[in-house]
Amino acid sequence: YDITNSIKTSLQQNDFYIVYQPIIDFKKNHIRKVEALIRWLHPKLGMIPPNDFIYLSEISGSILELTHFVYESVFKQMALWNQQGLKIQVDINVSPKVLMHQDFIKNLNYYIHKHQVDKGQVIIEVTESLILSSIDQAIMVLNQLRSEGYRIALDDFGSGYSSLTYLKHLPIDILKMDKAFIATIDKNELEKQFLKFVLDLAHAMHKEVVLEGVETISQETVLKPFNVDYVQGFLYYKPMKVEELTQILQEKY
């Protein structure tokens, strides 16, 4: 099966699109942040999960075209929102392979300038798997991104091992705690204490925290007395197309 060709054809036929999931300011209850997520609705195969095709596109070489599509779509949309007075920060997921590419920052800057978006509005989401490639090089790229004005989020925090070491050593601004952290906080006292402990630790390190995967009112109730910055989850919003999001932003900005 020729995945490269398939991706190219689908890019031409608009089978790829971006959905956005709101990230809610827990105390102010407004939305100034969203996460951009790519979707591939293949005309014959149906919805293909991003983790599958991103990996395949990396080994087959079409990741450059895909990345181009994501940046163009997202930054163009951010510029539109900016014109409407909706200054939104957007989280963009970046795979280790893309981040470690020697032209990564140069390319990113090109799209940012083209669409006149502030670098401070762009949050680069990386995962712990990045470190597996090369920790020193990863730290260098992240430092360079931050010195340019971009912000870095460590995604899926807590889903792997050695997480605390990464929290200590990686130059990041935002910690996105994996949904595993909150899955049973309303049923298990130890889990609740565990979450609070990591939350306090992150704040002591001056990181902003996003709690991912909030799905129930009962979980939200446990979170209320905690010092929570942001929440993201199906309880609030699922990832959605831009038209729907723009409406929600106009109400909840």
Positions touching Mn ion (CB under 5 A) are 93, 125, 155
CB 60 within 8 A of CB 3: yes
Q: Is 51 in the site for ligand G (CB under 6 A)?
A: yes
Q: Closest CB to Na ion among 128 and 155?
A: 155
Token pair, residue 247, equals: 């409406």
Q: Which does 160 bind (CB under 5 to 8 A by kind): Mn ion, ligand G, Na ion, none?
A: none
CB 216 within 8 A of CB 226: no
Q: Closest CB to Mn ion among 77 and 93?
A: 93
Q: Is 156 in the site for Na ion (CB under 5 A)?
A: yes
Token pair, residue 139, equals: 């730290």
- Cα torsion angle, 242, 244, 246, 248, sign: negative
Contacting residue, 23, 31, 34, 70, with ligand G by CB under 6 A:
70
Residue written as token pair 């939350």: 199
Q: Is 233 in the site for ligand G (CB under 6 A)?
A: yes
Q: Is 49 in the site for ligand G (CB under 6 A)?
A: yes
CA dist 92 and 71 (Å) reads: 9
Residues touching Na ion, count (CB under 5 A): 3
- Our CA angle for 11, 15, 21, nearest 5°, is 110
Q: Closest CB to ligand G among 85 and 103?
A: 103
Relative to beta strand 31-42, strand 16-25 is antiparallel
Token pair, residue 34, equals: 């969203």
Closest distance of CB 85 from ligand G, Å: 26
Q: Is 229 in the site for ligand G (CB under 6 A)?
A: no
Relative to beta strand 208-212, strand 31-42 is unpaired
Q: Is 10 in the site for ligand G (CB under 6 A)?
A: no
Closest distance of CB 249 from Mn ion, Å: 19
> Which positions from 102 through 131 interact with ligand G, judged by CB under 6 A?
none
Q: Which does 54 bind (CB under 5 to 8 A by kind): Na ion, ligand G, Mn ion, none?
A: ligand G
Residue 202's contacts (CB-CB under 8 Å, 6 or more residues apart) are 167, 175, 209
Contacting residue, 35, 91, 128, 155, with Na ion by CB under 5 A:
155
DSSP state of 101: S
Q: Closest CB to Na ion among 128 and 212?
A: 212
Q: Is 38 in the site for ligand G (CB under 6 A)?
A: yes
Q: Is 160 in the site for ligand G (CB under 6 A)?
A: no
DSSP state of 11: H
Q: Is 128 in the site for Na ion (CB under 5 A)?
A: no
Which of 193, 179, 198 lies closest to 222, judged by CA?
193
Q: Which residue is nearest to Mn ion (CB)?
A: 155
Residues that bind ligand G (CB under 6 A): 21, 37-38, 49-51, 54, 70, 93-95, 155-156, 179, 212-215, 232-234, 239
